[in-house]
Structure 1
């Protein structure tokens, strides 16, 4: 067994009816947390032994990981943890900026009291999780916050937004690993976005969301490819900022 796989933590199945879902969640966390580094070869037979599961749920878990862009390779052959792809990051974040800036515009001034309370709770959970260095809990609260502030864009678009957010997770973790000192600034950005949404200021909410997402993309691109411009990201920011002056 390869050294990278031999040291993996085991998996405790809590629901035998959802083995593939639990295997997927476990593998996904190992990848986005960096425990399984980019380029690590993933052998299904070895992972089946490590996790004490059959090959069938592993194949389904691998299929889901491939759809998320976290694993590359042939489905029934050896796969690898996907590496950093600057083109993917740039286009993924450009799409997120366009969709989520529109989403906050549609949501601004339209949150229910319960939704507003849930968003504020998510912010507090993010702050607590960061102080405890619990990035798994932080990530869950972070996804919930971003979903709430764009919630009026409709169920179908929300599914797309959620999918893009999931695919962004390795890049978010890369940002966190290198820029933990910036968390207070990023937290203030989240607070400002929620304040703008609650105040019904659609233009401000869209600009803040666009710059917030672009900040992650710019820094991660600069970390890994410092001389590469983020053209698509900047175009998306310009588009999001222009929405309010388009004579809607």
Structure 2
């Protein structure tokens, strides 16, 4: 019996977090983690830096980075003025690297999980939502056949202290902006709700991104520049695609 949560029969669906990514399986899956994993990935891709998603920032991450000859991103508070972290601003400033292991308990974890499912995984933020939607439309058109690829947007969300999912409104906006740009009538009700959320906020996006919980949190910790970069809507033409463990630039 088909799961009622799978959003089958629609061209595009939407859900939250690792469990949603597993249940609402898609042929092409857009991972959306606006503050800050997928924004950081688009900034890296703009600069020609390949990103290797990794879940934990621990000894295994050190070994993983060494295996690929990559730089390991450190915590935001550890990076200093010349280091590189999950902060998009630090990635924009850094020089001399072409490979970056980017640990993240949310967006990176989902990307790694999906890479093992056989889906085509892309990183989507507010910065590249139009470019990503255009890329997906081309993939769907070129696929042909009686069943076009199903597209799913997964909002990564954040975590409460008890480990449970905290839906993050900025990821809802990013997913909705991407799904709306697909220009398809085949959106699931969940996907339509995400598009509606983006439409309500799109004309006041920078202000709302700074005032939402995630934006206030980063600003409180001294990373308001990261929020400003995340609000650079439709400025990036890159579409980072996950292949063999790395997110690399596709245009």
Q: Return the TM-score normalized by structure 1.
A: 0.26
- The answer to which structure has the higher strand fraction is 2
The structure with the largest alpha-carbon Rg is 1
- Could you say which structure has the greater relative contact order, defined with CA pairs below 8 angstroms and 6 or more residues apart? 2
- The answer to which structure has the higher helix fraction is 1
